[in-house]
Amino acid sequence: MSARETPMGEGFAPGPFQRLIGLEAPVIADGRATIRLVLGPDHMNRQDRPHGGLICTLLDCAMGEAVSHREGLPPYRSLTLNMSTSFLAAATGASITAEGWRTGGGRTTVFAEAVVRDEDGTVLATAQGTFRVKEP
C-alpha cells in the first residue's frame, strides 16, 4: 500500500496545541502513523535540546493517529489512557520524527508503541500506550 497524507485526525480539525507547536500532517501507511516536527528555538529546553514534553507529545500523537486509522474505515476518535516513555538519547539536527503503530487490543481499548528519531536516525525515545477508541 502506498503512503497517503491525511490531515491530523482526518475529519477532525487539528487541535490548537498541535498547531501551536507546528506538527506536520501525519503520513498514514501500513498501520503506522509518522509525524515530523521541524525544531525551532521555542521547542528547546535549557540545554538547547528538544524539551522532553515535546517528545512525549510527538509519541502520543503518533500512537493516537495509528490507533485511530484503519484501512478503508473512517478514523476513530482516540483518548490516551496511559503512556510510558523511555528517553534514550539527545537529539541532533533540525527535525525529529515520531512513528507509532497499534500492537493489539480489543474493540474499545487498544495498545500502541512509538519511537522518536532525529535526522540521523538515532532513537531518542520510545513509548507504550493504552488508548480508548470510539467509532465516529
Q: How far is Cα 43 from Cα 56, in angstroms, rounded to an integer?
A: 12
Q: Which domain holds residue 56?
A: 4-134
Q: What is the model's pTM?
A: 0.88
What number is the average pLDDT over the span 93-122? 96
Our count of domains for the chain comes to 1
pLDDT digits (tens, 9 = 90+) for 29-47: 888 999 999 999 999 999 9
What's the CATH number where 88 sits? 3.10.129.10
pLDDT digits (tens, 9 = 90+) for 72-102: 778 888 999 999 999 999 998 899 999 999 9
Residues 6/71, Cβ–Cβ less than 8 Å: no
Residue 19 has pLDDT above 90, yes or no: no
Residues 62/78, Cβ–Cβ less than 8 Å: no
Residue 36, beta-bridge partner list: 97
The dihedral of CA 91, 58, 100, 33: what is its sign? negative
Q: Which three cell numbers stand for residue 56?
A: 512525549
Residue 99's closest CA among 64, 73, 130? 64
Note the residue count of the chain: 136
Distance of CA 26 to the CA centre of its chain: 8
